[in-house]
Amino acid sequence: MASMASTSSVRLFIPAGNFNINAEKKKMAMAMSMTMTMRGCYHQRRSFIRVKASSPKRVGIINGNKVNGIAVGETPLQRRSSEILEGRNEDDIHECLLGKFVEKRFVYRQSFIIRSYETGPDGTATMETLMNLLQETALNHVTSSGLAGSGFGTTREMSLRKLIWVVTRIHIQVQRYSCWGDIVEIDTWVDAAGKNGMRRDWIILDYKSKDIIARATSTWVIMNNETRRLSKIPEQVRQEVMPFYLNRYAIAKDKNDIEKIDKLTDETVHRIKSGLAPRWSDMDANQHVNNVKYIGWILESVPKNVLSDYDMTSMTLEYRRECTQSTLLESLTSPTACVVAEDSRSNNSINRKPDNEYTHLLRMLDDKAEIIRARTEWHSKPKRSLQH
C-alpha cells in the first residue's frame, strides 16, 4: 500500500463583520474550499479558517481498488502492461517493446500493447490494426538489420537506385482478435519468392500464453520510385537481403490461399459503395496510398450485420495498381454461399468452414480500373466482454 500523504496547515485571515470581500478573494476561497478539507472557527472580532492541505506527492491506495477512499477500477491497459513489466529491468523492457532479433538474427520479434483507439465497436483489435502492426514490425526489422537506406523500408542499395518495395499479395488468417490492453508478440522473417520477389511472413502470438492467434504471408516486388515501373532485383540488393532469408512458412502451403481472386463486374456485384476518396492522411512516405487504408474502403460495401455479428477470420488482398489522393473510388462486394455443418462449429475458426465468404473489388470511379481485389471469410462472433 502506498504511503500516506504528508499534511500541513494553512490559516486564512478574514475580518469579522465584513464578509463582502472582493471578487478575487471570493474566487480564491471558493477554489480552495473545493480542493481542501476545511474546518472553521469563528471569534467575536475576527475569524480564522483553518485549512488542512494534502501534499500531492503520492496517492493513497486502499485494498488495491480505491484511491483516497474512492473506488476505482484498473484499466485493461494497466492490467496487461503489468504482465510485460513484471520481473524485467529497464533494458529488458526497452528491448522487448522496441524489438529484437532471435534465432541467429533470422527472426525479428516485437511486442505491442493494443490501445483503445485500435479496437472496434466490440472492443477487439480491427483487421486494420493487425495489418498496421505487421507493417510496423516489417519496417523495424529492416531498420534494426542495419540495411536501412533513406527510403521507407528500403535498403541502402535500393535507395541509391531509387527503388522501393511494393506488396502485390497478402494473406492473413486470424484465430482470435486481441482486446484492449492485451499484449501481442509478433515474429517476422523474409525469404525469396521466385527470381525477383521477396516473401515476408508473420506470426502473432498472445504474449502471456504464447498461443498463436494469427498468421500472415505476403509477396513483395521492387518498383522504381520515379517511373513507378516494376524492376528486377539488382544483384547488389539481392546480396544485401540474402543473409536474412529463412526457409520457413508461417502458413503451410496446403492452407495458404493461393487461388486467383475472381473479378467482380456490374453484372455479378451485389453491393456497391461509391464516392470514396483518399485523404492526405492516407498517403505514406512513398507518396502513394498506404496499403492498409484499402481495407477500410473494402469493408464499406460489406453488410452492416456481417460487420457487427461476424469476425473476419481470413483476408486475401491482390494489389493491382496505385491510386492518388485525387482519385474517387468505389467498393464492390459479392457474397459466396457457404454451409456450415453442425459438428464443425466446435472447431476453431481456422479449421472449420466459414459462415460467410465474400469477394471484393476496389476500383476507380471514372474509368473502372482495378485497384485491388480481395477475398474474405467470416465466422460468427463468440460472446465476449470488454472487461476480460
Task: Tell me the per-residue pLDDT of 17-50, one tens digit each, with 9 for 90 and over.
Answer: 444 445 544 445 444 444 443 344 333 444 433 4
Of the listed ranges 81-95, 113-127, 252-266, the least confidently predicted one is 81-95
Which three cell numbers mark 325? 489522393
Residue 19 has a pLDDT of 43
Which three cell numbers mark 146? 542495419
Residue 12 has a pLDDT of 40
Encode pLDDT of 354-373 as tens digits.
Answer: 999 999 999 999 999 999 99
Please check whether residue 225 is in contact with residue 151, taking contact to mean a CB–CB distance below 8 angstroms. Answer: yes
Nearest to 332 by CA among 358, 305, 306: 358
What pLDDT band is residue 286 in, cutting at 50, 70 and 90?
Answer: low
Catalytic, 286? Answer yes
Catalytic, 288? Answer yes
Catalytic residue among 141, 288, 360, 379: 288
Catalytic, 323? Answer yes
Phi, psi of 63 (to 5 degrees): 55, 20
Encode pLDDT of 368-387 as tens digits.
Answer: 999 999 999 999 998 765 54
Catalytic residue among 291, 323, 360, 379: 323
Give SS3 for 294: helix
Encode pLDDT of 201-217 as tens digits.
Answer: 999 999 999 999 999 99
What pLDDT band is residue 14 in, cutting at 50, 70 and 90?
Answer: very low
Residue 107 is which amino acid? V
Partners of residue 355 on adjacent β-strands: none
Nearest to 355 by CA among 334, 381, 333: 381
pLDDT above 70 (res 77): no
| Average pLDDT score over the chain | 80
